[in-house]
Amino acid sequence: MGDLGFASDTGAALPLYLVPKGGLADALSGADGGISAWAEAAGFSGKAGEALVVRGADGAATAALVGLGDATDRARRRFVLGGARAKLPKGTYHIANPGAAGADLDEAALGWLLAGYRFDRYKSQNGVEAELAAPDGIDAARIAAIASGEALTRDLINTPSSDMGPAELEAAARALAEEFGADIEVTTGQTLLEQNFPMIHAVGRASPREPRLIDITWGGEGPRLTLVGKGVCFDTGGLNLKPGSSMGLMKKDMGGAATVLGLARMIMATGAKIGLRVLIPAVENSVSGAAFRPQDVLTSRKGLTVEINNTDAEGRLVLADALAYAEEAGPDLIVSMATLTGAARVAVGPDLAPFYTDDDGHAARLAEAAAQVRDPVWRMPFWAPYETMIEPAIADLDNAPSGGFAGSITAALFLRRFVEATPYIHFDIFGWQPTAAPARPKGGVGQSARALFEALPDLLP
Ligand code: BES
Ligand code: MN
Ligand code: ZN
């Protein structure tokens, strides 16, 4: 993990000017004349992500400028300041014109911190870089909490399955719980059967790395929120083995778990008045003589029977038992996050997090919060006419309708069968940045957690 805090020593911080495209004169209206002359001589135009370092006679940096682009650029690209961080020389900066047209200080500050993220667990060195004084007028502690929640998510996803099996995911959850004084209970292996989590056990039993259900609870006050995250630590597809090209990224199939843990960190670190619970079914979907098979019929915790038509549709099975268990305790809201379907990726690509809810108010609030914090989500329908697609011949439910039409929707409808009377939001996330972008290196990435964190006070009673 890189340095994800604001500068602590801001005494000699250099001024950093945010410059919208074509807005040089306005942006520098309070600046020293030498800076304006330098910027003009350099032909600095304020293009998105453009950086300019102003130097004194001795060659040392005395100020910096970063271009914000125009409104169209900013709609297309998030975290422009974060993207420019690596172009600035080592040193501490402070934003000298926080009122710059088009500048969103929360986004600027968060992008800066997230650009400091490195997955360096397997690297021997770690460089020091430009630092930023927390801008006035933002809630710096909240932004830092969001950044470290996001960094936790990235670290968990990026860690290869060899070091991130169900036991290691449990260890990460335990470390988080301990840091914030949360309670944690874990049900493992055969005990899953005794405690009636048959589908979590069935999906995970082929692996020598035992399946488990991780259960964190924190905070006594306020409305009760339960987060459920898919923790498939590696998804081979099971007996319906994935081809190599599809299996390549499947260390990230615990992306839902990683994202709910990152969100839990944001909630706990900011001391939100929420009674929080996090449930993570953690398994490896593996291949062995003990594996569950196509055409097996499983009886879920809830009692609904499920015909297995594809062992690669395993996420909905482990989530189903966790969702049923979540509802038994009567929370005010249940949210699931899961790298559930390839169909969601085909539909919306890697950036957008599709979500499902029956509550139009929740959907509107989430969309608004997502735009505000630049964590894009997109509503999809729990389309009731497709319910028949998940009702096969010999059991209550089919885990993998043939034909594959509307794959993300039918997966969401499957999950909804296990939440009867509690407000429910489901995110079908990707959890992976395929090519580097500002503040997001290639690799694991959180999706929808920041949007949900922002909207939460309005989603809970
Ligand atoms: N983990 C995958 C879904 C996935 C694949 C997410 C690629 C992101 C990228 C999931 O377990 C899966 O394999 N789903 C199948 C379901 C199908 C067999 C009904 C899928 O989407 O193909
Ligand atoms: Mn699968
Ligand atoms: Zn999966």
pLDDT at 220: 86
**Residue 161 to residues 153, 207, 341, 419, Cα–Cα distance (Å):** 15, 13, 19, 30
Q: Return the best residue to mutate from 234, 341, 414 for the ligand 1 pocket (most ligand atoms within 8 A of CB).
A: 341
Residue 174 a catalytic site member:
no
For the Cβ of 277 lying below 6 angstroms from any atom of ligand 1, the answer is no
pLDDT at 189: 98
- Pull the structure tokens for residue 418: 């296990």
**Of 316, 417, 440, 450, which one is the catalytic site residue?**
316
Look at 152 and 1; give whichever has higher pLDDT: 152
Answer whether 14-116 and 144-459 agree in fold. no
pLDDT confidence tier of residue 126, bands split at 50, 70 and 90: low
What rounded mean pLDDT belongs to the chain? Answer: 96
User: pLDDT tens digits for 265-307?
Assistant: 999 999 999 999 999 999 999 999 999 999 999 999 999 999 9
Mean pLDDT for the stretch of residues 313-329: 99
For the Cβ of 398 lying below 6 angstroms from any atom of ligand 1, the answer is no
Architecture of domain 144-459: 3-Layer(aba) Sandwich (3.40)
pTM value is: 0.97
Phi-psi region of 64 (alpha: psi -120 to 50; beta: other; left: phi over 0): beta
SS3 per residue for 19-85: EECCCHHHHCCCCCHHHHHHHHHHCCCCCCCCEEEEECCCCCEEEEEEEEECHHHHHHCCCHHHHHH
Helices 105-114 and 360-373: crossing angle in degrees, nearest 10, is: 70
Domain ranges of the chain: 14-116, 144-459
Place of tokens 């932004």: 143
Ligand 2 centre and the CA of 314: distance in Å? 5
Domain 14-116 class, CATH top level? alpha beta
- For the chain, report the end-to-end CA distance as a whole number of angstroms: 36
- Pull the structure tokens for residue 390: 């998940």
Mean pLDDT for the stretch of residues 4-8: 91
Phi, psi of 165 (to 5 degrees): -90, -175
Q: Name which residue sits closest to atom 5 of ligand 1, judged by CA.
A: 342
Q: Indicate which atom in ligand 1 lies nearest the CA of residue 400.
A: 19
For the Cβ of 255 lying below 6 angstroms from any atom of ligand 1, the answer is no
Cα separation of 113 and 115, whole Å?
A: 5
Helix (H) or strand (E) holding 131: strand 131-132
Residue 90 a catalytic site member:
no
pLDDT tops 70 at residue 128: no
CA nearest to 340, candidates 327, 353, 351, 359: 353
Ligand 3 centre and the CA of 197: distance in Å? 18
User: pLDDT tens digits for 364-387?
Assistant: 999 999 999 999 999 999 999 999
Q: Nearest 5 degrees, angle CA 209-CA 213-CA 218?
A: 135
pLDDT tops 70 at residue 196: yes
For the Cβ of 434 lying below 6 angstroms from any atom of ligand 1, the answer is no
24 CB-side CA count, 13 A: 20
Residues with CB under 5 A from ligand 3 (ion): 232, 235, 253, 315
Ligand 1 centre and the CA of 216: distance in Å? 27
pLDDT confidence tier of residue 124, bands split at 50, 70 and 90: confident
